[in-house]
Amino acid sequence: MHYSFYDFLMLIGSLGLFLYGMKIMSEGLQKVAGDRLRSILTAMTTNRFTGVLTGMLITALIQSSSATTVMVVSFVNAGLLTLSQSISVIMGANIGTTVTAWIISVFGFKVDMSAFALPLLAFALPLIFSNKSTRKSIGEFIFGFSFLFMGLALLKNNAPDLSQNPEMLAFVQNYTGMGFFSILLFLLIGTVLTMIVQASAATMALTLIMCANGWISYELGAALVLGENIGTTITANLAALTANHQAKRAALAHLVFNVFGVIWVLVVFTPFTDAVSWFVDTHMRPGSEDVAVSYKLSAFHTAFNVCNVCILVWMTRLIEKTVCFIIPRKEEEEEYRLRFITGGMLSTAELSILQANKEIELYAERTQRMFAMTKELLGKEKDEEFNKLFSRIEKYENISDNMEIEIANYLNQVSEGRLSSESKLHIRAMLREVTEIESIGDSCCNLARILNRKRQVNVYFTGKQIEHIHAMMQLADDALAQMILAVSRPEHQAVDINKTYNIENEINNYRNQLKNQNILNVNNKEYDYQMGIYYMDVIAECEKLGDYVVNVVEASGDIIKERKHA
């Protein structure tokens, strides 16, 4: 056999260039699109059909269903998309990814795109060195596009010539004549290969080359395509490993969707592949045999995903129930998502403001729960319990950051409409509320980090210190309770800001008292200086949290004043 290890390395290198081109092209497009992709995702998922179209559009643009599904999983983790919305977007992503196969079939086999690759690189070179980020991203996209087709051409050139190596052809043929078992075997090969490469586009390119060169039949190529659809779900599932249960469910929904699709296609495999073959031969008339088989595989890939979406788009709720049953919700976890803001704008500015008001109430309640967890952390002695709760607080802090951005973006969108001066002032006050509530979340996380640092250096508070910290935290908790009342007040009901001021004064006085007492205690050697630092850091952070609470309540008071004046 005349196929050396060097030739094999050339083949792997060609695959590497193809994958790198795909990655650079996808990233370049994502940079050009910027936040618009995220805006489209959150705004166009109001129902299952718009969700499918959105997933299809974004995946066709960025040429990577994996990138779309990972983005969707991260949005579910952040609470920006619901599970049912994510399922419809993932369905659309499966259709969008079929565009890649058509690009390879049309350009890779019919036109020698590698001949244009170097001139394209020359055109992209000045763009790459441009100071403007958009031009640079366009240059990256052209580079990626060129590398992709250079890699594809090298893959074809470095694939072993089976006519010169009949023993290898015999090896492949050993597994091609076993009827339905061969189809199942190649389905498994396609799944494993895509899991390893983590790019269905690369496996699709290999499949098209294998079929065009006559290594395997069109039917076995179709089996490989089915396997690729299952294998491509590994990326999203890997991304969801460290995410919350909702994100894990979204990634599993991708797998369930594709596995179900593969099962029903296997049941009707022969008539389905025959129908696709007949359609290509009679309607597309591709000409040469290698182009014909590549067209058939691309058409099979598209037909499979379109039919699968048409069937399962009506079963979104069933898929949701299935994944919820497989991954049950843990008692300590809650659903992190925006409940009242759905991405689309409501008909009137007043209704939009009301919607945002409700979301801010929910945001404030979540922040109070976060502080309750911080109080609980103080009493955790076992490492496992402490670390688990600490991770949960950090996750809440990330959610808090995302909620601030989403609510603020929504309010900015509302403010761009035709609004009365009263409504504009109202939105300004709401933006202040959101900013200060996020600062409270930061304070809660800072408290947790101080306790974590203290634990790592094996410093332990005295009984009196713990007693004082509990008293300070209780005052901060009372302030948060007043804040919740102020934020969730009924319309035109006055906010009693004096109660909040009184608690704030108590917090300040208590902080000053403990600060003076701490200096005396350190001087009297009741505890060392380092312990005193951690102790006062906790007290100072609680006082800071109280200041943020006052700012929120003042902003809520401003909203009521504006309404009364109006």
pLDDT confidence bin for 173, thresholds 50/70/90: low
Q: Of the ranges 195-199, 320-324, 459-463, 491-495, which one carries the lowest mean pLDDT score?
A: 491-495
In b/e form, how buried is each residue of 179-217, taking b as 16+ CB within 10 angstroms?
eeebbebbbebbbebbbebebbbbbbbbbbbbbbbebbb
Instruction: Tell how many helices (H) and how many strands (E) occur in the chain.
Output: 23, 0
Q: Of the ranges 50-59, 62-71, 321-330, 444-453, which one carries the lowest mean pLDDT score?
A: 62-71
pLDDT confidence bin for 291, thresholds 50/70/90: low
Residue 546: predicted pLDDT: 92
For the chain, report the end-to-end CA distance as a whole number of angstroms: 89
| Res. 1: pLDDT tops 80 | no
Render pLDDT for 339-363 as a digit per residue (tens, 0 to 9): 666 544 444 556 677 778 888 888 8
Which whole number is the average pLDDT over 218-232? Answer: 84
Show Cβ contacts of residue 262 under 8 Å, excluding neighbours closer than 6 positions: 187, 226, 229, 230
CB of 507 within 8 A of CB of 468? Answer: no
Which whole number is the average pLDDT over 398-407? Answer: 86
| Res. 100: pLDDT tops 70 | no
Percent of the chain as helix, strand, coil, to the nearest 5: 80, 0, 20
Assigned token pair, 365: 């309640």
CB of 29 within 8 A of CB of 63? Answer: yes
Nearest-angstrom CA–CA distance, 534 and 468: 13
User: Among 95, 90, 38, which Cα is nearest to 320's?
Assistant: 90
User: Among 378, 423, 370, 375, which Cα is nearest to 401's?
Assistant: 370
Residue 566: predicted pLDDT: 42
Show Cβ contacts of residue 374 under 8 Å, excluding neighbours closer than 6 positions: 393, 444, 447, 448, 451, 473
pLDDT confidence bin for 248, thresholds 50/70/90: confident
Can you list the domains of the chain with their CATH numbers?
5-166+173-326 (no CATH), 349-565 (1.20.58.220)
| Res. 76: pLDDT tops 80 | no
Burial bucket for residue 562 (CB in 10 Å: 0-12, 13-18, 19+) = middle
What is the percent of the chain with per-residue pLDDT over 70, rounded to a whole number?
A: 75
Burial bucket for residue 381 (CB in 10 Å: 0-12, 13-18, 19+) = exposed
Q: Of the ranges 68-82, 208-222, 417-431, 452-466, which one carries the lowest mean pLDDT score?
A: 68-82
Show Cβ contacts of residue 224 under 8 Å, excluding neighbours closer than 6 positions: 186, 187, 189, 190, 193, 203, 207, 210, 216
CB of 205 within 8 A of CB of 18? Answer: yes
| Res. 129: pLDDT tops 50 | yes
| Res. 313: pLDDT tops 50 | yes
Residue 489: predicted pLDDT: 67
**CA angle in degrees (0–180, nearest 5) for 202-204-208:** 120
**pTM score, two decimals?**
0.55
Query: Which of the pair, 278 or 492, is modelled with greater confidence?
Result: 278
| Res. 565: pLDDT tops 50 | no
Residue 339: predicted pLDDT: 64
What is the percent of the chain with per-residue pLDDT over 90, rounded to a whole number?
A: 15
| Res. 290: pLDDT tops 60 | no
**CA angle in degrees (0–180, nearest 5) for 56-141-128:** 155
User: Among 84, 86, 92, 100, which Cα is nearest to 54's?
Assistant: 92
Render pLDDT for 503-545 as a digit per residue (tens, 0 to 9): 999 999 999 999 999 999 989 888 888 889 999 999 999 999 9
Residue 474: predicted pLDDT: 93
Residue 60: predicted pLDDT: 74
Enter the DSSP assignment of 314.
Answer: G
